[in-house]
Amino acid sequence: VGMDYKTHTAYFSSYSDKEDRKLMNTEKTPKTTIYSYKIDTGELETVYEKKKYVSSIAAKDGILYMLIGTNWELKDKKIVVFDTNTGIIEKSNIKLNIRNTSDMEIIDDKLYYIGTEFGYDGVFSYDLNSGKKETVLKQNKNEFINGFSLNY
């Protein structure tokens, strides 16, 4: 789930678990559908459908940053940018080592995520304007960070 706090819109993805299990040991992917849910009105809308596995979504002003790959292993994972206002999807130059099951959030032009950077696991931020990465929380030796939520 990705939350666009400014527009009060939640974005989430779904795919057929049955089809995913059938394709699990192949290079094929079930169709993923991205929905928008307007919190103020309860309106639900399909905004994106593609045969790519969408693992994580972060949203700001109707722009979705999505971690996608060919299948559930995300061997070829990359960030794509999808403008829900225009329907245009673009590959991005953002290179982040995001955990496949990671949460992502955007606040004040910074993308926050769980992953591996600088040789260790943790929570990191990526400045969408400058491209600078910073450590927010370094994972300790006997811990596993499995999620976070940003509220403001």
Identify which of 2, 93, 150 has the alpha carbon closest to the alpha carbon of residue 136: 150
- What token pair was written down for 86? 């225009």
Q: What is the pLDDT of residue 53?
A: 77
Single pTM value for the model: 0.82
Cα–Cα distance, 57 to 103 (Å, whole number): 8
pLDDT at 44: 95
Strand partners, 4: 9
List C-alpha distances in Å: 147 to 6, 100, 105, 106: 22, 12, 11, 15
Reported as a single tens digit per residue, the pLDDT across 96-143 is: 887 766 678 898 899 998 888 899 889 999 999 999 999 998 988 888
Residue 102: what pLDDT? 65
Whether the Cβ atoms of residue 29 and residue 45 lie closer than 8 Å to each other: no
